[in-house]
Chains A and B, each alone.
Chain A
Amino acid sequence: MASRTSTRSRGNGEKYSVLLPTYNERENLPLIVWLLVKYFGESGYDYEIIVIDDGSPDGTLEVAEQLQKIYGEDKILLRPRAKKLGLGTAYIHGMKHATGSFIFIMDADLSHHPKFIPEFIEKQKEGDYDLVSGTRYQGDGGVYGWDLRRKLISRGANFVTQVLLRPGASDLTGSFRLYKRKVLEGLIERCVSKGYVFQMEMIIRARQLDYSIGEVPISFVDRVYGESKLGGNEIVSFLKGLLTLFATT
């Protein structure tokens, strides 16, 4: 009888905390947690999932509590807040009781797939990177669900960003990343922007502080795009954020 080779690696003695800021993710939260448990379990790395819910009216917190009963309070931590506040503060709030030495940040709406988590971890170990960023623009990274207009805006904006800021990373607005805990704490202190400009600023500041940045190609499955178009407002606020970073960093 041939023995089945175990895909479980021994883990590496490190613990990884996954920060999941949520707002109205009642449908997606169980799915993302299930996927995280699956891929962490298969790869053998030690982990915890921290759900930071900003007072979602759709009962996201209630679903999170059910998940906590199913998977255990050591694996699912709840750090809810009363109302929708900024992303930076959500990370800080979530990190306060995190016990991992590495922190994953990702979206809870299934656009980021946990199957890349082992790749992030291996990449980080490969070069002892201070931060590993998921990129949609390189290697076999890519997107699903974007039309030509959206792709054009995305690549165009990224090009302008590369020319003006020369950040040394191919995808600045992406938010699927792995940070060393101290690095994340230090960067959040220094960043002042909001929204996805915040994600850009994190990379720029990391560059300034000479942190090493690794990249992993990821697939971004946009299921939300149909509901929230990338309108003029977002483009304007992106440009404002970009010019602010250009003039201040």
Chain B
Amino acid sequence: MLLFQEYHGIGLTSYLCAKLSWLSKDGLIPVPVVLREISNIMTKLLEWVFGVSVVGAAWAFVTFDILKMSIPRTYREVAWPMPLYLLVTFGCYSLATVGYRVATFNDCDDAAKELQAQIIEAREDLRKKGLKF
């Protein structure tokens, strides 16, 4: 009896295969071209849904041994917590990246000083030219 995840995975894999066979009907199409075609059709949201589904299906296939391929126990044990690991890794990467970028965010003190000086110069020059502030 198939679980929901397995139906989901099979459904999406079939869609993916159908799409790829349509796109490659003229012969072998390189992956970048296929991906580009996909991104032209799909919104970013759909791309994410698609990507997450593919990864999710692969994970489900390995973890629950859906196709009964007798995947060695060690593979299944490694695959099982993968989604959580990936999420945590992404979280750490995000914090590190944003933290680094905030720390290295340039402060333009010179630009501010230069602007102040130029404002004074501009006001003087414009007053000479007849501007009434």
Residues of A with Cβ closer than 8 Å to B?
27, 30-31, 34-35, 63, 66-67, 69-70, 110, 113, 137, 140-146, 148, 151-152, 154-156, 158-159, 163-166, 219-221, 245-249
Measured between beta carbons, the chain A residues less than 8 angstroms from B109 are: 144
Main secondary structure on A side of the interface with B: helix
Q: Are A143 and B107 in contact (CB under 8 A)?
A: yes
Q: Which B residues between 15 and 56 are near A, CB-CB below 8 angstroms?
A: 43-45, 48
Q: CB distance A30 to B106 under 8 Å?
A: no
Q: Which of A34, A151, A247 contacts B122 (CB 8 A)?
A: A34
Segment with Cβ contacts to A, from B1-9, B63-71, B76-84, B96-104:
B96-104
Size of the B side of the interface (Cβ < 8 Å), in residues, is 28
B86 within 8 Å of A (CB atoms): no
Which of B43, B105, B125, B126 is within 8 Å of A142, CB to CB? B105
Whether B112 pairs with A144 at a CB distance below 8 angstroms is yes
In the complex the two chains form, is B108's CB within 8 Å of A220's CB?
Answer: yes
The answer to whether A35 and B106 have CB atoms under 8 Å apart is: no
Given known A-B contacts A113-B115, A246-B44, A155 and B105 have beta carbons under 8 A apart? yes
- Knowing A144-B108, A247-B43 are in contact, say whether A152-B131 is a contact too (CB < 8 A): no
Ranked 10 nearest A-B pairs via Cβ: A142-B106, A219-B108, A219-B111, A34-B122, A144-B112, A144-B108, A247-B45, A155-B101, A142-B108, A70-B129
- Taken together as a complex, chains A and B put the C-alpha atoms of A35 and B108 apart, in Å, by 18
Closest-CB distance, A132 to chain B (whole angstroms): 19
In the complex formed, the residue of B with least CB distance to A137 is B101
Among residues of B, the one whose C-beta sits closest to the C-beta of A114 is: B118
Closest chain-A Cβ to B13's Cβ sits at a distance in Å of 25
